[in-house]
Amino acid sequence: MSKNNNVYTAIDLFSGAGGLSLGAQNAGLAIVVAVEQDKAASLTFKKNHLDTTVINEDIRNIDTQQFELKPFIVFGGPPCQGFSTSNTQTRNLKNKNNFLFEEFVRFVRKLSPEWFLFENVEGIVSFNKGATLKHIKRCFSELGYAISSKVLCAADYGVPQNRNRFIMVGNKSGICFEFPKAQKKKITVAEAISDLPDLKNGQQLETGNYKNGGSTYAKKMRKGSKKPLQNYVSKNEDYVIERYSYIEQGQNWQAIPEHLMLNYKNRKNCHSGIYKRLDPNKPSVVISNYRKNMLIHPFQNRGLSVREAARLQSFPDTFVFEGSIMKIQQQIGNAVPPLMAEAIFKKILKYE
């Protein structure tokens, strides 16, 4: 049943660490099943969603007949390397990840939920000159779903990060879904992380202490947490830290003296997000691969800690990640911000 004993059931596909599910749960949905191929991400999901059955498997090998329920909603974001505008090497039609959306469609076809939510990078809108997105919409329309889609910015929904995501929502009752309105107030980097402990390059502080004070947002993230956990910082080489020292808040690699960047054959090809020191008075830039991009703490000459990056994605401090530091960083960077997800799911439930 879609709704059992006033409980709205949900299945999360390509769940990752569980950003979408956390938002859905906070909105009032019960996540009964999650599917995730990556082992570390699936362990993170299970640790933070004890009542959910987590299937650590390639979705292409899963038979939908094993599910004995008709969920109220199916949601998820198929891997998006092939659609991303930030990775031109994999942005082509031969990338096998481009077609994993067909598995999402398969689950919706077989389980016939009342609603679905499909999430992806904004690059899917222009990929293959829009033909891919038209095909995806046509697949859902043929299954009888009314569709609404939009590129949303996480900063409009209480997340301290300017992160755009493509969201498509469909339902079987012909409802013309309207996305939640943007909030006027934007949460800044300083509001998000200033109460977290000072750290050094490469420091692996398992349990730290909160600083006095803290913004309304910080206090919201700290609810239920006595101490900030997983304050892990990647170790950068000394020459990288020297580069950091030249970069002011809001600046990027262009502020680094040329003699310190000789290993770059062509500096003109450097992405604007490389060696970016965060501006404390604005929402963060996208932190999708914050270790590789070497995003810099606004006040300290080091990279972001795991807990700081989680805060910028709106994961609460009670949320604990599993795996190596590289695996954790990947999980955080790939996640859908829970606060943005919560706003969308709350709006969906208002139609019921």
Please give the single-letter amino acid code of residue 195: D
What's CA 135's distance to the chain center, in Å?
24
SS3 label, residue 327: helix
In 3D, which of 300, 255, 256 has the Cα closest to residue 280? 300
The residues annotated with a catalytic role in the active site are: 80
CA distances from 346 to 26, 111, 194, 297, 349 (A): 9, 22, 29, 33, 5
Note the pTM of the prediction, 2 decimals: 0.92
The pair of three-digit structure tokens given for residue 121, joined into one six-digit string: 């990078």
Tens digit of each residue's pLDDT, the chain (352 residues) = 344 556 899 999 999 999 999 999 999 999 999 999 999 999 999 999 999 999 999 999 999 988 878 899 999 998 865 554 444 444 444 555 557 888 999 999 999 999 999 999 898 898 888 888 898 999 999 999 999 999 999 999 999 999 999 999 999 999 999 999 999 999 999 999 999 999 999 999 999 999 988 899 999 999 999 999 999 999 999 999 999 999 999 999 999 998 898 877 666 667 767 899 999 999 999 998 888 888 999 999 999 999 999 999 999 999 999 999 999 999 999 999 999 999 999 999 999 9
- Which domains are seen in the chain, by residue range? 3-181+337-350 (3.40.50.150), 189-334 (3.90.120.10)
